[in-house]
Structure 1
Amino acid sequence: MLDPLAKEGLIIKTASSFYIVRTLNQDVLVYSDEQFLLHDHVLFKGQYQPIESVNNTYGLNFKKMMMRQHIHFQIKPTDIERVESKPTILNRVHQSISQMPHRSYYEHVYLNIQSEHEELKGEILSSQIIIVLFIRFLRSLFNKRFDDTYFDFYEVLLYMVMMLIFNDPAFYFMLGCRRLIQKIPLESFDKLALSPCVTLFLFPSFQFSLRFIIVMMFQLLGMIQMHQKRFWHGFIVIVPILLNSFYKVDLFELILFPIHRILNLIYFIIGLIDIVFKTSLSFNGFQLMNFNILAFNITGKFPLWILFLWIIVSLAYLRNGKFRYILMLFCLLIMNQNQLYFNPRFIYEQLYVGQGDSSLLIYPHQTKVMMVDTGSSYSYKRVESALNYYGINTIKHLMISHDDEDHSGNLKQLEQDFKIEHIMTTADDFQFYDLNIHLYQYDEEGNDGSLIAYFTINEYTYLLLGDVSSRIEHEFLNEHSDIQFDIVKIAHHGSKTSTSSQLLSHPSIKLLINSSGLNNRYQHPAREVVQRIMKHDLPFLDTQDYGNIKIISLYNLTYISLKP
């Protein structure tokens, strides 16, 4: 830990769970429950701490994202306080929005502050795109009065103003730079390359932004396109980007994008009136014209072989414009949605769901999966992303070990978003395709009432212990002394009440797995448990250290896959 070189700073970014503070020498991450506004002046004490996060195969690597923005340290929530300062334009706008009903909606539209509120169920474009649409709307409105050169100057000027107001200089600089470069007598491809080169020279980290990639892809298509069917050009670019980034794309949303674009521009203009008069006309219009009920989602991250085919077919379409290539792209989407049909591996995956428990079992060449527990409700996005990653629509068996929220908190949400064929809550053995799942229960309630499960894959026997105590472990092991357990998910997230020496001395154990959250308040796994594991010299993997832990069986080979 380091002492801060600067004791004060300015809030330059707000999100649903964190803030970024700009000091004299660097930007710093802050977690706080207090409601700060953009450009609030803050003081802090204490020490800088390194940013900690868990690698998540199915989500954003937060630490890596911060590092790319040259943010290396964080400040404790208790070490920061707001002080009076002279408000800026952005601060006044945010202050006005913060006093409005449906605050999260207006923060998203005008300040690009992402929200997880349930009231935002439709499609809202990012504030940067809406502002660009607004500027282009003004250009078309006054195009007949002024010549292009005259308005080019004012368009660039508007982009420069947006840079200063919204603290997002790279995006607006690239657009303004591109408009200026259009007037330079250069070859088309030279113009295409010059704008991003200048932008990245000044803002190197912008290369990691999804906005940069999308804008560049559309500009490149604009250079090489041989036909004027622009909708399909957008389809070719957006679909693989969304599926590889978020593992889900709504086809109706893409089809209705021209309508969304017009509606969002209208909401933006009406919202300016709302901010002045504290009304909610824009939000009410957004809710009234919500097309989300027509959602038709395609999920699944593109495997490399499907992505390669997508590029080949897309280039063929761009070359001659035959509609049969579009049909081939839709066929690739169907294959991607059912990609598990082409999967020859058996996969057991312990998901990182924070301080909770959830695991996934995937059977070779089957699209229906099995889940054990669901994690806490706050971790639903992680569970949903894991299912979407594989293009999963149906959970064949969902086993709930017991009713604790950290094991069953996402049950209702999963029932809404996915088809669940069987929910297992009692100690009745069942078959997951050809895999025999054995269930046992020794108490009727509490942690000791957890279901214990074991099954064998590729001659390795897995044992899942729920939240049972050492007493139940002893009872189970005494009854099953003839079974050689190889891979054990230890009980109760590594609590000191479980994982006894009797369990650890089992001679067949080859790997121990634990599911716990980073910096959890229970300090799991307990120090006593870790010491016992070290004493028995057993390999030990914890989700708070490694994120998702994937064990893959392919024919006679079994191996562990961890995200670096």
Structure 2
Amino acid sequence: MIKLRTILLYDPLYLILTIISLLYSFVMMNYFPYTSKYKMTDTTVEGYIHNFKIDGNKLNILLKGKERIIINYYFETEEEKNSFPFELGDNIKIYGEMEKPKESSVFNLFDYKKHLYRNKIFYLFKADKIELISKNTRLRYSIKQKMIKHIDNIGKSTSYVKALVIGNDDEFKESIADSYQFNGVSHLFAISGSHITFLSIIILWFLKRIRVEENKRYYIVIFILIFYMFLTDYAGSVMRSVVFFSLLSLNKMYYFHIKTINILQLTLFVLLIFKPSLLYDVGFQFSFLISLYLVKYQPFISSIKNYIKQTFIISLIAFLVSIPICINNFFQINLLSPIINVLFVPYVSFILFPLSFLCLLFPFLDNLIFLFVIVLENISLYLSTLKIGEIILAKPPFIIILIYYFLISVGINKMAVKKYFYLIPLVILIFIHNNINYFSRYPYLVFIDVGQGDSIFISLPHNKGNVLIDTGGKISFEQPWQQKNNTYKIGKDTIIPFLKSIGIKKLDYLILTHGDADHMGEALNIVKNYNVEQVVFNSGSLVKLEKELIVELDKLNINYDFLKRGDVISIGEVEMHCLNPSRDINENDNSIVLYLKIFKHTILLTGDISSNIEEDIILAYPKLKVDILKVGHHGSKTSTSEKFINTIKPKYAIIPVGRNNRFNHPSEIVINRLRSNDVKILQTSTNGSIKIIIGLNEVTIKTAST
């Protein structure tokens, strides 16, 4: 025992274990591929329901069968949805077909396929029919199911009780969730160390009151917390907190006298050996790194006697440590976050969190909680509308993340001895990072994969201009019962995050070629949520979407103009010549057609024009030659005529088109026509987003999908 204590008190041991666990996780995740027990040809799967979620007309089940697999099923009627008969733990059989998860098709954004793979989920299963084999007999699932039902019946504050008790924050209103993220307070609704500490103190106090022996008290709490991990679906931050508390308890019970920071490193070792995928879990990264710095600088924090000042210092340290994680995943930070947290942390920790647990026992507290919720939400919404403190920072390479942490560590270390000027290098790095596009040398285009639609981004060197041509979008025909709580929006969930990921702070022009939804359906979302200097429409008759957008532009005081043949948009050293429309015809043929020449390279962007307008253009511009052609109307057979291709002689043809679209775009006729003219074809449906970097003598093409 003495020898064991000697080993456990050896500080370098924990650094060695930390390095081993990090290397082990990285190697296991990247060099030892997992293989699935299912086959792509399987048409049935069996297992029990580990978790499920109903959102609109969609049912999502996490099934434990041969391995974990995600089941997607769409209710056909509202009655079917309301009479959903299954519960957690039920054994079911599903009929349907396997689907491969879609990899990220937009540069820098979340890769769903990789996320599932790291969690050993290899397939999605598109369900046609679900049959019950047997009802649940597992006690843990029965308890969880009853708790969820109980919370669902609480009332107006259900979404907050769910978030703060079982870690499910999916039911927040979209605008509220966005405001929390913008203000840097989303972490308060993810169960973490403070929540686990609160629960532990309450349970330990109760056990002490009923005179349970001290060691037994800790073992009981550890057992309860392990079950609580199951209730929260083993969230990374909860696992970190529970294992950390458990090791701290053992350290206290058996008088090992291990330093707290070493116990935290041991926690990391245990968790990463047990579950290597936690290395890539953003919640776990936040939880562990913030805890590491708070533990390391606990003496400094404890020396501050003023509560408000102490809370601010804690918030400031947490904010600084989280900067690289936020930049890497969300591409922005809010400089006011430490101040906002001074207000929000005690409000959530000492009011909402305890009341949420009390509400489980006393549901009549629902109205009281909701009163506090309304106050919190209104403050958060107001602060987010001010748009103060937001800094957009492009996704950094790993070496820059390491430099950030070096400067952050030096800054916090010197801050502890009141040498605040050591934070200046970090401020300088953030300033340079925020203005990184002033250092870009070459212009580039990105054909963003927005499914069945167009969205083209053009960036000029040294931040001299940024243009977005079309936004993608789609028309929804869903009935109210089919609509999701947080509907995926191309503009808000794809285009804006992509622009932030490359450090774009504003759009000089948003050019909308025409008024169809697949080209401008997301324009409202973009002008409401992003900095747009000017919007450009074609000069044809205005359609409904264009009229609605103009009303919003007037409210937002955003300039707009109308483009016709012969007009030129000059931005930086580049001129964009408008070749169409020349007259008012129909919506597709009214599309703005832009011709650009950058260095020696020529580009033609054709909207949805038909072969009639193509012929009109080559009659008006008989010497028109093009290196890069954006194929008209997603490769429809009504566009891209043989005469047009023979005249302009493109080297590259880019086709923005959705996978398995109902229009069967692109047409085989168009594909064969391009191939017979030796044109290299790229499609967003197969290549994902397509980036074309314009060099002095040649172009470089990169694609998001392999």
| TM-score (norm. length: structure 2) | 0.72
Equivalent residues in 2 for 1:67-82, closer than 5 Å? 67-80=117-130
Give the Cα–Cα distance (whole angstroms) in 2 for the partners of residues 82 and 96 of structure 1: 24
Q: Contact 1:104–1:117 at 8 Å: present in 2 too?
A: no
Aligned to 1:212: 284
Aligned to 2:526: 414
Distance 1:77 1:503, change over 3 A: farther
Quote the offset at 1:339 in angstroms: 1.9
Aligned to 2:512: 400
After superposition, what is the alpha-carbon deviation per residue over 1:330-365, rounded to whole angstroms, capped at 9, x for unaligned?
333233222211222212111122222111111111
Give the Cα–Cα distance (whole angstroms) in 1 for the partners of residues 231 and 402 of structure 2: 41
Q: Contact 2:636–2:666 at 8 Å: present in 1 too?
A: yes
Aligned to 1:441: 581
Distance 1:414 1:49, change over 3 A: closer
Give the Cα–Cα distance (whole angstroms) in 2 for the partners of residues 102 and 82 of structure 1: 33
Q: 1:28 corresponds to which letter in structure 2?
A: I
Q: How many residues align?
A: 564
Of 429, 450, 456, which aligns to 1:332? 429
Aligned to 2:467: 370
Quote the offset at 1:64 in angstroms: 1.0
After superposition, what is the alpha-carbon deviation per residue over 1:167-187, rounded to whole angstroms, capped at 9, x for unaligned?
317654443322233304446
Deviates more, 1:318-327 or 1:490-499: 318-327
Q: Contact 2:407–2:425 at 8 Å: present in 1 too?
A: yes
List gaps (5 residues or longer) in structure 1.
none
After superposition, what is the alpha-carbon deviation per residue over 1:145-196, rounded to whole angstroms, capped at 9, x for unaligned?
8598676445423321212323317654443322233304446665343222
Quote the offset at 1:404 in angstroms: 1.0
Q: Contact 1:306–1:332 at 8 Å: present in 2 too?
A: no
Of 592, 601, 604, which aligns to 1:460? 601
2:326 is equivalent to residue 242 of structure 1: yes
Quote the offset at 1:510 in angstroms: 1.3
Aligned to 2:100: 50
2:37 is equivalent to residue 7 of structure 1: no
Give the Cα–Cα distance (whole angstroms) in 2 for the partners of residues 101 and 82 of structure 1: 33
Quote the offset at 1:274 in angstroms: 5.5
Quote the offset at 1:503 in angstroms: 3.2
Of 374, 379, 385, which aligns to 2:490? 379
Quote the offset at 1:379 in angstroms: 0.4
Give the Cα–Cα distance (whole angstroms) in 2 for the partners of residues 452 and 137 of structure 1: 62
Quote the offset at 1:540 in angstroms: 1.3
Aligned to 2:176: 120
Aligned to 1:535: 676
Q: Contact 1:299–1:390 at 8 Å: present in 2 too?
A: no
Deviates more, 1:59-68 or 1:468-477: 468-477
Q: 1:52 corresponds to which letter in structure 2?
A: K
Give the Cα–Cα distance (whole angstroms) in 2 for the partners of residues 15 and 531 of structure 1: 44
Give the Cα–Cα distance (whole angstroms) in 1 for the partners of residues 502 and 649 of structure 2: 32
Give the Cα–Cα distance (whole angstroms) in 2 for the partners of residues 356 and 191 of structure 1: 52
Quote the offset at 1:97 in angstroms: 4.4
Distance 1:138 1:367, change over 3 A: farther
State the SS of the aligned residue for 1:2: coil
Aligned to 1:315: 409
Quote the offset at 1:128 in angstroms: 7.4
Q: CA RMSD in A?
A: 3.2
Of 80, 84, 89, which aligns to 2:143? 89
Q: Contact 2:603–2:629 at 8 Å: present in 1 too?
A: yes
Deviates more, 1:34-43 or 1:162-171: 34-43
Distance 1:18 1:536, change over 3 A: farther
Higher-Rg structure is 2
Give the Cα–Cα distance (whole angstroms) in 1 for the partners of residues 130 and 583 of structure 2: 48
Quote the offset at 1:204 in angstroms: 2.6
Give the Cα–Cα distance (whole angstroms) in 2 for the partners of residues 469 and 75 of structure 1: 39
After superposition, what is the alpha-carbon deviation per residue over 1:389-417, rounded to whole angstroms, capped at 9, x for unaligned?
23333211111100111211222222222
2:346 is equivalent to residue 268 of structure 1: no
Higher helix share: 2
Quote the offset at 1:277 in angstroms: 4.5
List gaps (5 residues or longer) in structure 2.
1-39, 76-80, 302-312, 475-488, 538-562
State the SS of the aligned residue for 1:256: helix
Q: Contact 2:45–2:95 at 8 Å: present in 1 too?
A: no
Distance 1:215 1:107, change over 3 A: closer
State the SS of the aligned residue for 2:513: coil
Give the Cα–Cα distance (whole angstroms) in 2 for the partners of residues 38 and 264 of structure 1: 31
State the SS of the aligned residue for 1:437: strand
Of 39, 42, 61, which aligns to 2:88? 39
State the SS of the aligned residue for 2:498: helix
Q: Contact 1:396–1:420 at 8 Å: present in 2 too?
A: yes
Q: Contact 1:2–1:48 at 8 Å: present in 2 too?
A: yes
Give the Cα–Cα distance (whole angstroms) in 2 for the partners of residues 273 and 195 of structure 1: 30
Give the Cα–Cα distance (whole angstroms) in 2 for the partners of residues 103 and 469 of structure 1: 53
Q: Contact 2:452–2:659 at 8 Å: present in 1 too?
A: yes
Aligned to 1:23: 64
After superposition, what is the alpha-carbon deviation per residue over 1:288-311, rounded to whole angstroms, capped at 9, x for unaligned?
223342233111225447545533
Aligned to 1:160: 226
Deviates more, 1:98-107 or 1:489-498: 98-107
Distance 1:143 1:84, change over 3 A: closer
Q: Contact 1:443–1:450 at 8 Å: present in 2 too?
A: no
Quote the offset at 1:4 in angstroms: 5.1
Give the Cα–Cα distance (whole angstroms) in 2 for the partners of residues 251 and 320 of structure 1: 20
Equivalent residues in 2 for 1:91-110, closer than 5 Å? 91-98=145-152, 100-101=155-156, 107-109=162-164, 110=166
Distance 1:83 1:345, change over 3 A: farther
State the SS of the aligned residue for 1:416: helix
State the SS of the aligned residue for 2:73: coil
Quote the offset at 1:224 in angstroms: 4.9
Distance 1:83 1:284, change over 3 A: farther
Q: Contact 1:470–1:498 at 8 Å: present in 2 too?
A: yes
Distance 1:498 1:134, change over 3 A: same
Quote the offset at 1:107 in angstroms: 4.6
Q: Contact 1:6–1:23 at 8 Å: present in 2 too?
A: no
Q: 2:646 corresponds to which letter in structure 1?
A: S
Give the Cα–Cα distance (whole angstroms) in 2 for the partners of residues 472 and 484 of structure 1: 16
State the SS of the aligned residue for 1:78: strand
Give the Cα–Cα distance (whole angstroms) in 1 for the partners of residues 358 and 201 of structure 2: 22
Give the Cα–Cα distance (whole angstroms) in 1 for the partners of residues 583 and 48 of structure 2: 55
Counting aligned pairs with the same residue, the percent is 22
Deviates more, 1:263-272 or 1:245-254: 263-272
Deviates more, 1:423-432 or 1:483-492: 423-432
Q: Contact 2:167–2:191 at 8 Å: present in 1 too?
A: no
Deviates more, 1:415-424 or 1:93-102: 93-102
Deviates more, 1:264-273 or 1:100-109: 100-109
Q: 2:490 corresponds to which letter in structure 1?
A: S
Distance 1:172 1:396, change over 3 A: closer
